[in-house]
Amino acid sequence: MADNSIRAIIPGMQPIDWSDPTRQSEYGWSVVAALQQLGETLSYDEVICISGSAFRASTSDSGLNPGDYHVIYNMEIVVHTFQMLGYDVTIYERGDFEADKKRIMDSINRGLPVLTLEGVITCSDCCLIGGYDDGGNVLLGYNPFMYQQDDHDEPHDVSGYFRKTHWHEESNGKYIIINHPINKRSKREIYLETIKLACKLIRGTKTGEHLDGFAAHTRYAELLRDNQGDPVDLYLNILCYLKLYIDKVYVSTFLRSMKQEFPESADSLEKAANCYDEVASLRAQLPTIIPEDFSTFTKPLERKQICLYAEVILQIRDWEQMARNYLIIEFDS
């Protein structure tokens, strides 16, 4: 790895993109790719469930927002992710430019990628930073939005990474510095702590105007049905928010894998997994109601489409709640 005060690169990071339409989480892929650099072999499906991301819902009470899927709205997931995967991290609020720049440069110089939450690339949930140039004034890395000219209009670096100048001015985001490995937890401990978090995420909370869990599903369906705004904006919101529903299809496999560690709870785990089979079936219905590709969006959505779509969202909510009822009896003591 080239390393000096001007420019440093971590070579060969796994690209973060949307090439797999069934695995769309920027945060999930960033964690997989970052820890791959540290010698870990993790699957997307494993990370998205262990992190708790597959169990969440998230929306603003005040209206539709295409960034509602961002993990920054539930930082408990981020803390949990790295604890379960065996790494000590520090999460920093965007603050003093020189201090932030130095921390990121120091991490890159140690060969450790940095994850940034919001900012850096416009509209991004998470960016994976794998280098810097011009003494840290330019960050280099991967993010799906780097391939969209409207969101990133700088030429890419010779390394293939994006180049982003003025990266500190984009938002009041956060960034994650990976410090060092910690003692690995047993599978049983990982499962137990993850299901406790999952029960909390499904139940949900309200922080200011932001809703999680049951209330977020409900409010999202209401906002869809009541929307009178621009049809393109509505479609954009639907496609962005969809990321939270795509990942739910991996939960039933995750729950069934738990039965080996928790044979005493096999019946409840199977019943909860059956609920998520229903969630996966409902998720498969969504693109038959509203297409999931901007290239097919040529006219405003009909009200009957939107109402049917909202009804499926509420059915997903109810099946998740039922799964939680089976899990909470066994695991949320």
User: How much is the pLDDT for 109?
Assistant: 96
Q: 235 pLDDT exceeds 60?
A: yes
User: How much is the pLDDT for 34?
Assistant: 97
Q: How many residues does the chain have?
A: 333
Max Cα separation, the chain?
A: 59
Give 262-269 contacts, CB < 8 A, sequence gap 24+.
262/188, 262/191, 262/330, 265/330, 265/331, 268/326, 268/327, 268/329, 268/330, 269/326, 269/327, 269/330
Q: Domain coordinates of the chain in residue numbers?
A: 8-59+69-181, 187-331
Mean pLDDT of the chain: 92
Q: 10 pLDDT exceeds 80?
A: yes
User: How much is the pLDDT for 2?
Assistant: 44
CA 322 – CA 301 distance, rounded (Å): 31
Q: 272 pLDDT exceeds 80?
A: yes
- The percent of residues above 70 in pLDDT, for the chain, comes to 97
User: How much is the pLDDT for 126?
Assistant: 96
Q: 302 pLDDT exceeds 60?
A: yes
User: How much is the pLDDT for 300?
Assistant: 82
User: How much is the pLDDT for 170?
Assistant: 65
Torsion on CA atoms 187, 26, 211, 177, rounded to nearest 10: 70
Give 103-106 contacts, CB < 8 A, sequence gap 24+.
103/175, 103/177, 104/129, 104/132, 104/136, 104/139, 104/175, 104/177, 105/8, 105/132, 105/136
Two tokens, residue 209: 């105007």
Average pLDDT over residues 258-282: 97
Write the CB contacts of 33 (distance below 8 Å, at least 6 apart in sequence).
13, 14, 15, 16, 113, 128, 142
Least trusted range by pLDDT, from 14-18, 43-47, 286-290, 293-297 = 293-297
User: How much is the pLDDT for 228?
Assistant: 79
Condensed to tens digits (0 to 9), the pLDDT of residues 157-213 reads 999 999 999 898 866 799 999 999 999 999 999 999 999 999 999 999 877 789 999
Average pLDDT over residues 219-230: 90
Give 257-265 contacts, CB < 8 A, sequence gap 24+.
258/191, 258/195, 261/187, 261/188, 261/191, 262/188, 262/191, 262/330, 265/330, 265/331
Q: What pTM did the predictor assign?
A: 0.94
Q: 145 pLDDT exceeds 70?
A: yes
Q: 218 pLDDT exceeds 80?
A: yes
Of residues 298 and 261, more confidence is placed in 261
Instruction: Determine the CATH number of domain 8-59+69-181.
Output: 3.90.70.10
User: How much is the pLDDT for 106?
Assistant: 97
Q: 325 pLDDT exceeds 50?
A: yes
Torsion on CA atoms 87, 244, 281, 309, rounded to nearest 10: 170
Query: Hey, CA dihedral for 256, 23, 195, 287, is it positive or negative?
Result: negative
Average pLDDT over residues 269-281: 98
Give the orientation angle of helix 75-85 with respect to helix 26-36, to 10 degrees.
30
User: How much is the pLDDT for 171?
Assistant: 63
Condensed to tens digits (0 to 9), the pLDDT of residues 111-124 reads 999 999 998 887 88
Q: Which residue has the tokens 């997931």?
A: 77
